[in-house]
Structure 1
Amino acid sequence: MAAGTATPLLLLLSVLCFVGASRAANVTYDHRAVVIDGVRRVVVSGSIHYPRSTPDMWPGLIQKAKDGGLDVIETYVFWDIHEPVRGQARRKDLVRFVKAVANAGLYVHLRIGPYVCAEWNYGGFPVWLHFVPGIKFRTDNAAFKAEMQRFTEKVVDTMKGAGLYASQGGPIILSQIENEYGNVDSSYGAAGKAYMRWAAGMAVSLDTGVPWVMCQQSDAPDPLINTCNGFYCDQFTPNSKSKPKMWTENWSGWFLSFGGAVPYRPTEDLAFAVARFYQRGGTFQNYYMYHGGTNFGRSTGGPFIATSYDYDAPIDEYGMVRQPKWGHLRDVHKAIKLCEPALVAAEPSYSSLGQNTEATVYQAPSVCAAFLANIDAQSDKTVKFNGNMYKLPAWSVSILPDCKNVVLNTAQINSQVTTSEMRSLRSSTQDSDDSSITPELATAGWSYAIEPVGITKENALTRPGLMEQINTTADASDFLWYSTSIIVKGDEPYLNGSQSNLLINSLGHVLQVYINGKLAGSAKGSASSSLISLQTPVTLVPGKNKLDLLSTTVGLANYGAFFDLVGAGVTGPVKLSGPNGALDLSSTDWTYQIGLRGEDLHLYNPSEVSPEWVSDKAYPTNQPLIWYKTKFTAPAGDDPVAIDFTGMGKGEAWVNGQSIGRYWPTNLAPQSGCVNSCNYRGSYSSNKCLKKCGQPSQTLYHVPRSFLQPGSNDLVLFEQFGGDPRLISFTTRQTNSICAHISEMHPAQIDSWITPQQNAQRPGPSLRLECPREGQVISNIKFASFGTPSGTCGNYNHGECSSSQALAVVQEACVGMSNCSVSLSSKNFGNPCSGVTKSLVVEAACS
């Protein structure tokens, strides 16, 4: 996120008038649904945050969302990137994003906030807001309300100026004010309730012509709609019988923290949660996230939120669909849409089918839809409904658009699985005369610049005592130097045995200690507690000793009551202890320097020439506080690109002057807590399904193709802990295999749904494969088995029952095709074992 010329906020947010929709729409709501031009709508929505991807990625992401069955794209508005300085803004075009959604024929839910949480630095607030005189955040405070109203009005006026509200013919059908305030409002007492009511009234007064919502706010006043956030919202009830049941955040996975294992959410459980919500009367559901993307620059919150914001979303960080999650949810959406005429015409009728099983029927003249749920986390059930028997796998919902025939069960995935990897282009940044280098990525070798220890700037300030970091830096940099001197006489007890102990307490997040210019110790906090208590032995010399502490933030707090007051940095005590005494340094004079010398010199900007850079083949490695720079040629093709920072410590990276985020491959996940195979049955939580325990939380860092240029590209690193840049490599995203596993118990593919009026024979289950990239065809069938195969994609095995015809049948149907379909029929495969439920498993390669 490169800074641009300071420009008035309104001009930067606005571009041209909206040209997508041609006529105004009337958007209202009733107790069942959002109503557009008098028609109740069943809505499927997904979150895509415009600053977490690039404008070049937006059209493809939005089209994949549309192809996945979405009606609406939901995004926050990020105050800090639009107004990093009060009244001025950077280029980050919200209007362009909203127009891109409109051009794809989708609607927008604009969540203005302006508090957004979102695991974003300072919850999306610009840090300058903290320094407004007399301000108190998110409460009945005049200074805060004035700033919040000013920005909210600016956003609304910008959208109106571009004609983007549905009432003007634009795509925005909903807006949100505040965000999850009900989770914390009790901490603010009566002032919090007054603020909430004020925010609601202020929003309505802006006359957008579309409804406003408040999420997680059970007492949201009319006409605002209170909505639900969570892993499950089927039991949620709006606070008024006049409001529809809406789910603004269905968490498709969870965010990653540095030092944490990688969380994921099973596809079957997410599909179950979606179907249960619509079964229980919901009509608007949004995935948070549908595409998570990347936390570029210093945008992460937390602290300790990782640079990757993949979120295990249906579209992954790199913009590729995640299969089978994307495909199975697409089928769920199609099934829900088949039920829409009944869902909007009738009230739900609930009945028990036995222990932990439930039927919901929506019936009106000429339409009927039903949902059969088994909420048992252990046992499959067979139930009788409308005179027919239905088998319900544990923790699943079957959807019957005609109240008779099952079109989909959430636990039975018809969608294919795609396995892919980031394939390393080894040695891509090694010295250009290295014989092992990948020729097309040959670099000019590494240059380096040493970042000096301690105070080097003339504008450093000296104060008695220890200063909190955020109030000192205003988040202008991650880094704050604390520097003081210790005078030691020859007979002082601290020299007894030549060593003393230095004890330092810090609010976090990372601390490095230097004695007389040499690293003496370091420590870090964690996502669960950023606090640091460091005790390290130090060697002092007679006379003057220099003590330099480098305190580093890793994103500012973004959630919780009074999160804006959560501090960072060394607040003490700082004590020196020896065999015969202790010296408290907390109240002595300290000199402070905000940021690094290299930051002031813009070493990350390749267009600025600096004499600091040294070109020497024998450059230092595994040394803290050092900058590296090299040149490279972008990997050929259009596959997504990432840099593997294995071998480095902790720092930040820039490609052609644009920050791709903080890297920290030495921060490892705990050894325990992961499972080889996570059971989707039963309630999900953020720590239920984890992978990569004992491994770095993140080694791969996304480089958007739009950051790259033809010919030579520049890569700059600031390395804080020490690493070896020769170990860095570029990687590209490659698909290994496409697989599918369909049993005779699966419903037919949803696209083959036959309505009762068509009076045709219903097809049976079939297996479908499709190459993920345009222009590819299926080139090889790696495995095919019909019978009782086992295993997972990439590791399938034949069972005791196996048709000898399977491979030949699949090869004939699929090889040379971009997509293919194979029916699970005895005509194709015979009957290798009677009386047994058989499955067809296929693994294929595309080229």
Structure 2
Amino acid sequence: MPFSSSSSSAYLVSSLFLFLLLSLFPPFSSAAYNVSYDTRSLIIDGHRKLLISAAIHYPRSVPAMWPGLVQLAKQGGVDVIETYVFWNGHELSPDNYYFGGRYDLLNFCKIVQEAGMYMILRIGPFVAAEWNFGGVPVWLHYVPGTVFRTDSEPFKVENEYGFYESAYGEGGKRYALWAANMAVSQNTGVPWIMCQQFDPPDTVIDTCNSFYCDPFKPISPHKPKFWTENWPGWFKTFGASDPHRPPEDVAFSVARFFQKGGSLQNYYMYHGGTNFGRTSGGPFITTSYDYDAPIDEYGLARCPKWGHLKELHTSIKLCEHALLNGEPISLSLGPSQEVDVYEDSSGACAAFIANMDDKNDKTVVFRNTSYYLPAWSVSILPDCKNVVFNTAKIGSQTSVVEMIPTDLLPSSASPSKDLKGLQWNVFKEKAGMWGDADFIKNGLVDHINTTKDTTDYLWYTTSLLVDETEEFFRNGTNPVLVVESKGHAMHVFINQKLQASASGNGTVSSFKFKNSYLSQGWEE
């Protein structure tokens, strides 16, 4: 998830979005399509569009999964696939581009295109996303004068005239980025930025993001309301419990957003996937980026969340014409209950009845009809009469994924074939603390400058000798070791034997040791 910025400079913005009509133009087509917007929504070829978007990051799954992920999202009622463009995965060194394997952005975009769906590219240059170095190439750190995410000339030159110009080539595997360029130059796309930048250029839309997008808070006056990150869960960290957000609460937030005039909502993440290799960035974030998303890390529908949201999307789509063309009227039905009605001159009418009381069910009267509302729920009425969906009532299938041992064969193999030629990618990283020190220096060193981002490990070692003259040896008390900052992890050895460990983010740790450990003196 990107951080916000208050500057109007394009280089300070966390992530620039481009809405691309990949489903509407074939590769390398020069045809232009009319994409614009008004106060209500995006307008595609003269028609307002209500859009459900799903974040699926191509490097966080393997290419063989991509068609299934996209199709499962489409079956779940999704119109748009959204992804970052991971600069450091594509420009491994200056002018050394890579668009293969999990970074085959061209292939990923084509799969979305063939599914008849739209595409959102968050082209960066900075993406955050719990990704190593926020997606910025580490080699840029060594370009003299570079200050990341500012208007410093080296940073602008590298991302604007380097990657984002060189990679726009109209051939081969640079197609996807070239398509982004074409989207702007030929009006086939509309750019917007994360998040709630209050002084954006007139041609750029600023958006809302967070766990809960305040439906009452205006974003850009005279521009449509977009929600770029609705978090169905959270990322996982080592030592913490698995994050979970109930499907009822996710559905409530989506329904409230559209109830209050939203027109484009994106799940971050719809499929989280896996942080392969050393791509994970941030404190103690695991290789799993599952995110409690509607599609789990393995590419399977997480039910009931996936099914519940599918029913929600179907219900909202029934209201699309009225929501985007009708005049909204909001009416209070109680202290924490209200209805928003959208009705146009053709007679189309849709209503959303909300109960914001998170503890008590309520019964309200709307247009001479009683409606029962569970606590913290929204009822959707596509015809202003009949409830087709309530966010708190789960009617979809519930399933639990259970891992069991089995004999698996790769898709290219059969029981009759020899598997000796099967290739596996193995990632190895030396921890570097059990042998001799790599170098000795008094004081702290910068991690990036020292390791050149070749490893996540930078261990500091120190030792002290405690002899029999210490007071606790004489009075029999147990000594306490207090460390004011343990960095990310720490191991304590006494007489060269591991006695204690701790992990965390630089917090104070204390260890109490019995005198029996110290009968022959104490050396840490």
TM-score (norm 2): 0.78
CA contact (8 A) 1:500 1:539 kept: no
CA contact (8 A) 1:173 1:210 kept: no
1:25 aligns with 2:33: yes
CA contact 2:227–2:265 (8 Å) conserved in 1? yes
Q: Kindly report which structure 2 residues correspond to 1:425-824, keeping only aligned pairs within 5 A, or say none.
A: 453-455=434-436, 460-482=438-460, 506=485, 508-512=487-491, 518-526=496-504, 529-531=505-507, 533=509
Q: Which residue is equivalent to 2:131?
A: 120
Deviation of the 1:271 alpha carbon? 0.8
> Could you tell me how far apart the structure 2 residues matched to 1:36 and 1:353 are?
36
Residues 1:147 and 2:148 are matched in the alignment:
no
CA contact (8 A) 1:523 1:532 kept: no
Matched, 1:252 2:228: no
> When you count strand as a share of all residues, which structure comes out higher?
1
How far apart are 1:373 and its partner, in Å? 1.3
Q: Map Cα deviations across residues 122-161 of structure 1 (whole Å, 9 max, x no partner).
A: 2222233333322222234333333332456248715897
**Alignment counterpart, residue 241 of structure 2, candidates 261, 275, 280:** 261
Cα deviation for residue 347 of structure 1 reads: 2.8
2:402 to 421, 435, 460: 421
1:182-193 pair list within 5 angstroms: none
Structure 1 residue aligned with 2:274: 294
* Equivalent residues of 1:18, 1:163 under 8 A apart: no
The question of 1:336 aligning with 2:344 is answered: no
Q: How does 1:277-356 map to 2 (within 5 A)?
A: 277-356=257-336
Contact 2:493 2:500 in 1 (8 A): no
Paired with 2:170 and 2:253, the residues of 1 have a C-alpha distance of: 33
Is 1:60 matched up with 2:36?
no
SS of the residue 2:402 aligns to: strand
Give the Cα separation in 2 of the matches to 1:402 and 1:144: 53
Give the number of the structure whose alpha-carbon radius of gyration is greater.
Answer: 1
Q: 1:96 aligns with which of 107, 113, 119?
A: 107
Q: Which residue of 2 aligns with 1:387?
A: 368
**SS of alignment partner, residue 419 of structure 1:** coil
Structure 1 counterpart of 2:374, one-letter code: P
Decide which of 140, 143, 155 is 1:132's aligned counterpart: 143
Alignment partners' CA distance in 2, 1:24 and 1:413: 43
Judge conservation of contact 1:165–1:210 (CA < 8 Å) in 2. no
Partner of 2:43: 35
Query: Which has the higher mean CA deviation after the structures are superposed, 20-29 or 402-411?
Result: 20-29
Quote the offset at 1:42 in angstroms.
Answer: 0.4
Give 1:129's aligned amino acid.
Answer: L
Give 1:214's aligned residue: 193
Matched-pair contact (CA < 8 Å) for 1:18–1:99: no
**Amino acid in the other structure paired with 1:63:** Q
Per the TM alignment, residue 392 of structure 1 is displaced from its structure 2 partner at its CA by 1.6
User: Do the aligned residues in 2 keep the contact of 1:238 with 1:244 (CA within 8 Å)?
Assistant: no
Q: Secondary structure at the match of 1:512?
A: strand
CA distance in 2, matches of 1:135, 1:540: 55
Instruction: Output the CA distance in 2 between the equivalents of 1:32 and 1:113.
Output: 26
The 3 A distance-change label for structure 1 pair 79 and 494 is farther
Residues 81-116 of structure 1 show CA distances to partners (whole Å, capped at 9, x for unaligned) of: 222333324432111111111111111100112211
Alignment CA distance shift 1:75-1:159 (3 Å): farther
Identity among equivalent positions (%) equals 50
- The CA deviation at 1:253 is 1.0
Structure 2 residue ranges without an equivalent (≥5): 1-24, 408-429
1:396, CA displacement in angstroms? 1.2
C-alpha displacement of 1:173:
11
2:254 matched residue in structure 1:
274
Deviation of 1:261 (Å): 1.1
- Tell me the TM-score normalized by structure 1: 0.50
- Tell me, in whole angstroms, the C-alpha distance in 1 between the residues paired with 2:391 and 2:494: 61
- Kept in 2, the 8 Å contact 1:109–1:173? The answer is no
- Structure 1 residue aligned with 2:392: 411
State the distance in 2 between where 1:74 and 1:173 align.
17
C-alpha distance in structure 2 between counterparts of 1:367 and 1:99, whole Å: 36
Q: CA deviation at 1:534?
A: 6.5
Question: Aligned pair in 2 of structure 1 residues 508, 452: CA closer, same or farther (>3 Å)?
Answer: closer
Secondary structure class of the residue paired with 2:107: helix
Q: Structure 1: which amino acid aligns with 2:125? A: P
Q: Tell me the distance in 1 between the aligned counterparts of 2:448 and 2:276.
A: 21
Residue equivalent to 1:74: 82
| Corresponding letter in the other structure for 2:130 | E
Where 2:458 maps in the other structure, the secondary structure is strand
Aligned-residue CA RMSD (Å): 3.7
C-alpha separation in 2, matches of 1:525 and 1:359? 49
Letter of the structure 1 residue corresponding to residue 334 of structure 2: G
Q: How many residues align?
A: 467
C-alpha distance 83-359 of structure 1, shift in aligned 2 (>3 A): same
Uncovered stretches (5+) of structure 1, i.e. residues with no partner: 1-16, 176-203, 427-448, 548-575, 577-847
Distance 1:233-1:500 versus aligned 2 partners, 3 A rule: closer
* Amino acid across the alignment from 1:106: M
Residues 362 and 514 of structure 1, relative CA distance in 2, 3 Å threshold: same
CA distance in 1, matches of 2:497, 2:182: 54
Distance, in Å, in 2 between the alignment partners of 1:532 and 1:141 is: 38
Q: Is the 8 A contact 1:455 1:483 kept in 2?
A: no
Closer/same/farther in 2, CA of residues 450 and 54 from structure 1, 3 Å limit: closer
Amino acid at match of 2:314: K
Change in CA separation of 1:508 and 1:138 when aligned onto 2, cut-off 3 Å: same
Shift of 1:400: 1.2
Measured at CA, do residues 104 and 358 of structure 1 come closer, stay the same or move farther in structure 2, by a change above 3 Å?
same
Query: In the superposition, relative to structure 1, how do residues 48 and 539 fare at CA in structure 2: closer, same or farther (>3 Å)?
Result: same
* Structure-1 residue corresponding to 2:118: 107
Amino acid at match of 1:116: V
- Residues 224 and 263 of structure 2 are in contact (CA less than 8 Å); yes or no, is this contact kept in structure 1? yes
- What CA deviation, in whole Å up to 9, does each residue of 1:248-296 have, x standing for no partner? 0011111111111111111111111111111100010011110111111
**Measured at CA, do residues 227 and 304 of structure 1 come closer, stay the same or move farther in structure 2, by a change above 3 Å?**
same
Matches of 1:84 and 1:524, distance apart in 2: 35
